[in-house]
Chain A
Amino acid sequence: MRVVIGEDLFLLREGLVKLLSAHGFEIVAAVATAPELLAALVAERPDVGIVDVRLPPTHTDDGLRAALQARQQIPGLPVLVLSQYVEQLYARELLADQAGGVGYLLKDRVFNDDQFTGAIRTVAAGGTVLDPEVVAKLMSRRARDAPVARLTPREREVLALMAEGRSNAAIAQRLFVTEKAVSKHAAGIFAKLDLALSEDDNRRVLAVLAYLESLWP
């Protein structure tokens, strides 16, 4: 799997290169600035781009902008955005084109390499991965609404994990239940929220997010 990395801090960049190489990813470019990143994403058309939000030249959200621009030129180009902090505002901007292939994670998630590489593969396959922190805030916004309030605590857990972009298998592993039980929970959730049930993971994430997002201003 071909990967482009955009990260300005040398230690983190080299760490990512080593980690991903060790897991069998092919690093086609590892750059330190937003213009270089945009050029690399467009020229290399990698299977996934891993992008730090804050990059030179202005050290604000240049990385995010470069990723969004690249996706404008190559619709659906998978991008996993990493950051020291997560903002729902940025998550919304990344999800706005509804093309999938988007990830948005805290940098800390790199520590768990299995989950991290799993997230990279999900994004590369056109899936959506959101940091649990973003999802938790989304959930808290809807917590007082009647349909979400009707969910059982377990169903709410499953909903959150679905919103993070996890498959049934991953959710089952996380909650120590069988995949079948997760399917049942999912069906219950979709019925209560009045959503069309889909077995396809990607479409399911988008449906859940669209539901949670409906109150975003």
Chain B
Amino acid sequence: MVDARDGGHDRTMFFDIVLALTIGCIAFILNRGWLGARGWGLLLLPVAMAAAVMAGGAKGLIPAELSLAVLAIVFAPKLAARLVPFGVLGLAVFGLQLAKMYRDGFTNPVHYLFIHAAPGAGARAALIEAGVLFGIGLWLLLRLDAELVGSLAARWRARRTGGISALHGLLLIPVVGLVMLLLGPGNWFGFQAFDGLDAALADLAMATAALVLIFRSRAWAATLAAAGLLVLGAYGWVIAVFWPAVPGFAYGFSDLHNNLVPAPLWSDALQGSVLLAAGLWLAPRVMGGHLAPHPDPELAARARQLTQRVQLLTKTRHDAVDTAAAELRRIERDLHDGAQARLVALGMSLRAAERMFATNPEAALALVAEARETSSRALTDLRDLVRGIYPPVLADRGLADAVRALALDTPLHTELDIDLGHEVELPVGAAVYFAVAEVLANAVRHSGARTVRIRLGHSGGMLRAEITDDGAGGADPAQGTGLAGVERRLATFDGILALSSPPGGPTIVVIEVPCALSSAKTSSS
């Protein structure tokens, strides 16, 4: 520990201003969200600055620490952000220790962030500032290290399952006990005004708070215990490394009672290590549960899958709605221009014939014959329309026979290999039927094929249709809207259409739709 130098008042004022400005700037950046979560790493700068000034501002220390902080911020921003809470907590612990040192006879004033601590009132101000820093440090720990703690927890959970047990929460009792011994009111406030009853009451309050926490929220008690173990452990090492020779440091079993004889270095380091190890063991077990949003890698993978699935479903649903709307529009237009128009003509012919029967029976007869023709054409229109909406043979007989009927209707020679056994759900059946129909129509129109082979089967929960023609090949799925429409319709059922058509042929189209077969179609007669 190095004291602030005489005549260094201006310098410390300067550092106070720089520190305040730095923190202000960082707060502004974080508020604007310019650097995202990584912006938190910038806080390492004021922490490093404060630590260096506290250590007395020895030559080169401030630039060295600042350089390290900048390096961390630039090259390992995530790590920097994670170090910040520990840095703040370290400063807080140091504040408490500082106050204790003054009580135990330390006399040099120390620049502790914004205050100039000294025996008496300055020591008490350091105590308050340390309390504030503790609050900030804990808040930052929960805020910034949730991810780190979460991933550690996930790694641990892979090996060991199980939640936070009561035992983990109970660990808070020794931790609080240790804190009370080291830094508690019995030590801190006891030196002047709070001796005796007050100190006992303060200890009692702390213990009660700890017990209440253990019973009310096991998870938070355990978390706090883990954080306490980590901070206390780190503190042991800080003492061992930086202030081994300063009298008055009490740490664990080393020197609890104002002994002016320095404790051996290995004692602090050993205790610090034990506490650190305990904290590291406990932290991942208890903190992940309520800090990490997706601690389990399996859960995270599942969440990703579900997200993709939702995106796909959103798209296919959109397509399905579009297709259905276009289909309705087409049906409306067909009815309007076809059957409806013919029925109007029919009515007009009949009306004209009605008038002519008396005067010109022959012309009237001709009109009636014309009306009959028109009604026949209206029926043909309607028949074609119905086929396009839902082929009657599909409704009557199901997919297998509907594909057989398709094969019979195509002018190409067909070889059929149909093995379904059971019936396919109606909507899936219709999608596959129209897909096969479109592929066959393409084969007739474009390929110049003479023979087409249709295989229809079901295996492993997949309905599969394979249509091979012996035509010229070179079919381009990008051309024409027919196959694209078929693909969209199949996609609604998670189905796919694959086309292989090298120049010279053969053209092979494979349609696959996941689907469960229903039980065999019940016979009606």
Contact = CB atoms under 8 A, between A and B. Distances in A.
Contact of B395 (A60, A92, A111, A215): A60
Nearest to A91: B408
A34 B416 CA distance: 31
Q: Give the dominant DSSP class at B's interface.
A: helix
Contacts, number: 73
Interface string B367-403: 0000010011001100100110000110111000100
A216 interface: yes
B392 A85 contact: yes
A57 B524 contact: yes
Interface string A88-107: 11101000000000000011
Given A62-B524, A62-B525, A140-B411, A87 B372 contact: no
A143 interface: yes
B9 interface: no
B327 interface: no
B469 to A, nearest CB: 14
A67 B113 CA distance: 102
Interface residues of B, number: 29
B525 A85 contact: no
9 contacts: A34-B524, A60-B395, A61-B524, A62-B524, A89-B404, A92-B408, A108-B380, A144-B411, A217-B404
Given A85-B383, A85-B386, A215 B413 contact: yes
A34 B524 CA distance: 9
A90 B415 CA distance: 19
A65 to B, nearest CB: 4
A84 B410 CA distance: 20
A72 B395 CA distance: 25
Contacts of A87: 392-393, 405, 408
A150 interface: no
Interface string A14-44: 0000000000000000000011001000000
B419 interface: no
B450 interface: yes
A69 interface: yes
B405 A35 contact: no
Contact of B524 (A65, A111, A112, A137): A65
A18 B424 CA distance: 42
Nearest to B523: A65
Contacts of A111: 372, 375-376
A61 B405 contact: no
Given A85-B387, A88-B405, A111-B372, A217 B411 contact: no
Contact of B396 (A60, A69, A88, A141): A60
Nearest to B406: A89
B414 A217 contact: yes
Most chain A beta-carbon neighbours within 10 Å: one of B379, B393, B396: B396
Interface string B407-447: 11111011110000000000000000000000000000000
A204 interface: no
A71 interface: no
Given A61-B524, A65-B523, A85-B392, 8 more contacts: A35-B525, A85-B386, A88-B409, A89-B397, A90-B393, A111-B375, A141-B410, A217-B415
